[in-house]
Chains A and B, each alone.
Chain A
Amino acid sequence: GAGVSQTPSNKVTEKGKYVELRCDPISGHTALYWYRQSLGQGPEFLIYFQGTGAADDSGLPNDRFFAVRPEGSVSTLKIQRTERGDSAVYLCASSLYEGSNEQFFGPGTRLTVL
């Protein structure tokens, strides 16, 4: 079946611009997660949703980062006033239920801020 998909696969933007990254989870998965991965590092937790609500957003680095999941399926990660330090691969994952250790990851969006 279809896995987690993320669009775009690559995004190049200029410092100060606004970007949106999209995640389509596996159908029927109630929990959705966003991570950020820098080169040579493990994924860093940002936020997770159970249904439509953000259950834990403690990993968002600052108020320039925001994520939504209005209908409990597709999610969008929004970054305002991008900075060069935001450059990373942004990974989305979903799981069948909250608390599951088996999270299914998408291929990621590589964000480059010039």
Chain B
Amino acid sequence: GESVGLHLPTLSVQEGDNSIINCAYSNSASDYFIWYKQESGKGPQFIIDIRSNMDKRQGQRVTVLLNKTVKHLSLQIAATQPGDSAVYFCAENIDSSASKIIFGSGTRLSIRP
């Protein structure tokens, strides 16, 4: 069925360290996996996506890894900054010809000074 979940609800990281946010999914048929960031009081903001036929994709300070064998997705943030504090959602787009995105329940990332 359609299911996107997260291993940890909260993550605390020292400023300057790398952050790794993990996500498990159950629908092997999804076309894309996506990460969104949501700051307090705001709507979610797109970070990066990865097509299901890829293993890795890099953006600015972020890397997404996809392991289809164990149905695992991760978001790595390099040199974490205070502005990275937010809730991070993994999501999946089951059919890229349509636009129905299924969101998981989120991981809160907090940054220690």
Q: Which A residues are within 8 Å of any B CB, using their own CB?
A: 4, 31, 33, 35, 40-45, 48, 50, 55-56, 58-59, 91, 93, 95, 98-108
Contacts and interface: CB of A to CB of B under 8 A. Distances in A.
B34 A93 contact: no
Q: Identify which of A93, A99, A108 gathers the most chain B CB atoms within 10 Å of its CB.
A: A99
B31 to A, nearest CB: 9
B43 A4 contact: yes
B89 A98 contact: no
A101 B43 contact: no
A104 B97 CA distance: 18
Nearest to B6: A42
B98 A44 contact: no
B9 to A, nearest CB: 8
Interface string B42-53: 111110010000
A40 B87 CA distance: 9
26 contacts: A4-B43, A41-B106, A43-B44, A43-B89, A45-B101, A50-B99, A56-B98, A58-B100, A59-B100, A93-B43, A93-B44, A95-B99, A98-B97, A99-B98, A101-B32, A101-B101, A102-B46, A102-B49, A103-B46, A103-B99, A103-B101, A105-B43, A105-B44, A105-B45, A107-B42, A107-B43
